[in-house]
Amino acid sequence: MNEENQATVEAANTVQSSQSPKDSTSTAYQPIDFSEFTISQNFGAQLKVIKRLTTVPVRKPKNTQWFRVHPSHKQDMLLLKYGDIGDDYYLVSKSLADQLADFVWSFKLVVGVDRQGIVFVWPLRLSEEERAMKWHHSAMEAASHAEVQWTRIQANMGLGAYDINTAEGITDEPKWPELSMNEIFDIAFRRKVIKSLDDFVPRQLLGKA
């Protein structure tokens, strides 16, 4: 063997002898350690998730809905119901009461919540005593009941008023949002406030648009 070939063989032997067993297995497949990914059964309870209240419907309670009414979140305001389908209420500035007298009515707004935690604003019509309707009186009575116990209302067409049902078997307390009354009203009437006769809704009603 000549000197050049001998040098090549010695170099190759040197490289092979310098490789440790760890180096030769470094690219071998390693099983996944699933303990790194396994969560506990109460992991959902450990998450600090804050659910934001972004929608508050303005409507009366549904006839299948058990609800409560907040004892202090209530305010008298002027509302305008726009459209013939559904309850599309607009909050009206009291400075426009005379100009929109044919379209606005006074309501007592109360904040309600059902057993699923759905928050809503219930507009209770305020009527003059001599023209008071049974519907309005029975709705007021139901709201008063709902301040202290779970309540459900159902329209009684023959009576011309609401039947008021109470659930004595429901003992859990309502889950109220950690928001003030004004904050709840702000969500409920966002983009539904009339402050000027130049706003879209009054222009439509007064034949100016």
Give the C-alpha separation, 137 to 39, whole Å: 54
CA–CA dist 3, 171 (Å, integer): 99
Give the separation between CA 176 and CA 181, rounded to whole angstroms: 11
- 114 in Cβ contact with 146 (< 8 Å): no
pLDDT in tens, 29-86: 888 888 777 766 665 566 565 678 899 999 999 999 999 999 999 999 999 999 776 6
Structure confidence by residue, pLDDT tens digits, 24-45: 456 788 888 887 777 666 655 6
